[in-house]
């Protein structure tokens, strides 16, 4: 894919160069024709929609790609993609069926960000499955960025979202079992998280992203992670690229992880290099306890290059591009 983009970029540059010299002397018709060719070349450059997401979420990326292939924009794609996971009651880390906090409450965090840098998020949202869509409503229909708790829920209900019990039998049973020992350790092991963070580039080359989670299983009541915090769980700069995070949110927040990745790309790093450096900021802290928690990043830049990196093995990115919807095993830091 990188090669393909390179070729497209090169041919676009060629068109630009030709244009530059030809336009000096041309009449209007010629100029219009060349402009047409130029925009075709731009469409060609940006004509390959792309979706990437944290973890193995092929159904979600397929939904997002369906939107993009139909000419939809990246914002609709990431929202609709995330909704697939939120609606899946079998998934115990997102939306309906999410594992509860230690008091038995399922509380959701989500965020969304568009190509203009607009963003919305919800934290500690209860009884509403599609937290990502509520976050979008916050972005589009309020003057605010973040709504929390009961306020977020009332806002959602006022916008027509249905109130429902999100604690499924399976998650309730898991919680009951956990309560027997009730060991509370704010760590996330490699099997214990599945936040979906998704980034998409549409046919216009515009980037959007979203992130949704039920957070850390059996968390303290009121605990909020990185996923709804713009710059931590998610950040988009349409001129540069985007990043989403998963893993122990506290560590992502402390390093403002997604913003960091985008800023590193702005400085010229590839998405892969940027993700690796952002993980480095966590693991290289003096006394970092990184052996006991996981963090993973997925990033994309404006050219459609992608990257992912995590602290421990078994993190992966789902990527849908050029008709291929596949899992890519992430490289990782802790090889000891
Ligand atoms: N980042 C999420 C949080 O800390 C957890 C996850 O990725 O599953 O709430």
**245 and 318 share one domain:** yes
Query: Is residue 127 domain-shared with residue 11, that is, in the same domain?
Result: no
For the stretch 260-286, pLDDT in tens is 999 999 999 999 999 999 999 999 999
Question: Cα separations (Å) of 155 from 104, 110, 119, 158?
Answer: 23, 15, 16, 5
- What pLDDT score does 195 carry? 86
Residue owning the nearest CA to atom 4 of ligand 1: 249
Complete DSSP assignment for 48-113: S-EEEEESS-HHHHHHHHHHHHTT--HHHHHHHHHHHHHH-TT-SSSSTT----TTS---EEEEEE
* CA 113–ligand 1 middle distance (angstroms): 18
Both 298 and 250 in one domain: the answer is yes
The CATH number for 307's domain is 3.60.20.30
CA of 228 to the centre of ligand 1 (A): 10
> What global pTM score does this model have?
0.86
Residue 9 confidence (pLDDT): 32
Asked whether 78 and 98 are in contact (CB, 8 A), the reply is no
246 CB less than 6 Å from ligand 1? yes
The residue segments making up the domain with residue 31 are 2-39
Identify whether residues 151 and 17 lie together within a single domain: no
Q: Is 123 found in the same domain as 139?
A: yes
Considering the domain architecture, whether residues 217 and 318 belong to the same structural domain is answered as yes
Query: Do residue 33 and residue 125 come from a single domain?
Result: no
Are 187 and 268 in the same domain? yes
Total domains in the fold of the chain: 2
Query: Residue 35 CB: number of other CB atoms within 10 A?
Result: 12
Give me ligand 1 centre to Cα 182, in Å.
Answer: 20
Distance 247 CA to ligand 1 centre (A): 5
Tell me, yes or no, whether 121 and 18 share the same domain: no
The residues facing 123 across adjacent strands are: 148
Q: Report the relative pairing of strands 108-113 and 207-213 from DSSP bridges.
A: antiparallel
Instruction: Kindly state if the Cβ of 208 falls inside 6 Å of ligand 1.
Output: no
Based on the domain organization, do 163 and 194 belong to the same domain? yes
Atom of ligand 1 nearest to the CA of 194: 8
| Residue 131 and residue 177 share a domain | yes
pLDDT tens for the 336 residues of the chain, in order: 332 332 233 333 333 333 333 333 333 443 444 344 444 444 445 568 999 999 999 999 999 999 999 999 999 999 999 999 999 888 888 888 888 999 999 999 999 999 999 999 999 999 999 999 999 999 999 999 999 999 999 999 999 999 999 888 999 898 899 889 887 765 555 554 578 999 999 999 999 999 999 999 899 999 999 999 999 999 999 999 999 999 999 999 999 999 999 999 999 999 999 999 999 999 999 999 999 899 999 999 999 999 999 999 999 999 999 999 999 999 999 998
Residue 213: CB within 6 Å of ligand 1?
yes
From residue 29, alpha-carbon distances to 32, 120, 192, 300 in Å are 5, 45, 62, 39
Answer yes or no: is the C-beta of 226 below 6 A from any ligand 1 atom. Answer: yes
Question: What is the dihedral sign for C-alpha 8, 42, 268, 226?
Answer: negative
Report the separation in Å between the CA atom of 315 and the middle of ligand 1, taken as the mean of its atom positions.
13
Q: Is the CB of 225 under 6 A from ligand 1?
A: yes
- Coil, strand, or helix at residue 209? strand
Active-site residue set: 195
Query: Measured from the CA of 247, which atom of ligand 1 is nearest?
Result: 7
For ligand 1, say whether the CB of 219 is within 6 Å of any of its atoms. no
Residue 93 near residue 113, CB atoms below 8 Å: no
Is residue 216 lining ligand 1, measured as CB closer than 6 Å? yes
Atom of ligand 1 nearest to the CA of 214: 9
Q: Are residues 229 and 303 in the same domain?
A: yes
């Amino acid at each position: 894919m990188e090669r393909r983009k390179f070729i497209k970029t090169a041919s676009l540059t060629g068109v630009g160069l030709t244009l530059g010299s030809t336009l000096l002397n041309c009449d209007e018709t010629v100029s219009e024709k060349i402009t047409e060719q130029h925009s075709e070349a731009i469409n060609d450059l940006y004509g390959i929609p792309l979706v990437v997401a944290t973890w193995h979420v092929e159904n979600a990326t397929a939904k997002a790609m369906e939107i993009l292939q139909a000419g939809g924009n990246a914002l609709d794609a990431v929202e609709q993609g995330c909704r697939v996971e939120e609606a899946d009651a079998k998934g115990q880390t997102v939306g309906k069926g999410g594992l509860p906090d230690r008091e038995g409450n399922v509380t959701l965090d989500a965020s969304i960000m568009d190509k203009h840098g607009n963003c919305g998020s919800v934290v500690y949202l209860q009884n509403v499955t599609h937290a990502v869509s509520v976050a979008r409503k916050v972005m589009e229909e309020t003057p605010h960025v973040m709504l929390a708790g009961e306020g977020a829920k009332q806002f959602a209900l006022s916008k027509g979202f249905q109130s429902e019990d999100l604690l499924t039998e399976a998650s309730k049973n898991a919680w009951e079992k956990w309560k027997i020992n009730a060991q509370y350790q704010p760590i996330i092991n490699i099997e214990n998280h599945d936040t979906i963070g998704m980034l998409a580039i549409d046919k216009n080359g515009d980037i959007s992203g979203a992130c949704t989670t039920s957070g850390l299983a059996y968390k303290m009541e009121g605990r909020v992670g990185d996923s709804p915090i713009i710059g931590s769980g998610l950040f988009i700069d349409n001129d540069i690229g985007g990043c989403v995070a998963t893993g122990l949110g506290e560590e992502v927040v402390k390093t403002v992880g997604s913003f960091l990745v985008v800023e590193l790309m702005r400085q010229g790093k590839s998405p892969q290099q940027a993700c690796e450096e952002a993980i480095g900021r966590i693991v290289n802290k003096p006394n970092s306890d990184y052996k006991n928690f996981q963090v993973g990043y997925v990033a994309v830049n404006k050219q459609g290059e992608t990257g992912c990196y995590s602290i421990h093995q078994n993190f992966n990115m789902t990527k849908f591009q050029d008709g291929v919807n596949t899992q890519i095993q992430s490289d990782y830091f802790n090889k000891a």
